[in-house]
Chains A and B, each alone.
Chain A
Amino acid sequence: EDQVTQSPEALRLQEGESSSLNCSYTVSGLRGLFWYRQDPGKGPEFLFTLYSAGEEKEKERLKATLTKKESFLHITAPKPEDSATYLCAVQDFGNEKLTFGTGTRLTIIP
């Protein structure tokens, strides 16, 4: 069974203080790993898809990387508007569903 574990559960950073969020996964065959952002009271919003180890994707202050066992979401010089819960999900080959982690709640303090 696919498993996704995200750490830490919560992270508080000062504005401008860079850090990384972790997503560890277990699948029989990775078809894709996905990062979503979720603001309070809203549905998740798609950020990135990663398909193979070594792949990297960037968007503004966010960079996602992938290894065979985990993915990192690096946030560089964050701003208060980056505060949100970040969700990681995986899709296994031959599986028409996503398995989500429980998320990391990120708070950026001005």
Chain B
Amino acid sequence: EVKLVESGGGLVQPGRSLKLSCAASGFSFNDYWMGWVRQAPGKGLEWIGEINQDSSTINYTPSLKDKFTISRDNAQNTLYLQMSKLGSEDTAIYYCARAPSVTTHFDYWGQGVMVTVSS
């Protein structure tokens, strides 16, 4: 069974950093692209970025490119999202998701982790 479990969320002060993790199981992690999507409260889905199997290609939505960093550890079957200079606009549920290849859909999603940016 494919499982994606996010962790690392919580309450963080404006301007601080936070690193999210996504633990993958039930499939060969290093065979897949992976991505991050977020959803602000009551809003729609926003694509954050994606990373290929060997981390040689990482793509971001332009507005977040200088704030967020996606990485992965294939030995640990884990995807990461490092977030810096957080503001209230970053308050959202953050989902990790699996993609069969670069130009495809997300076929499995984690349950999401909440990040709240507030003083």
Same complex origin of A and B: no
Residues of A within 8 A of B (CB): none
Residues of B within 8 A of A (CB): none
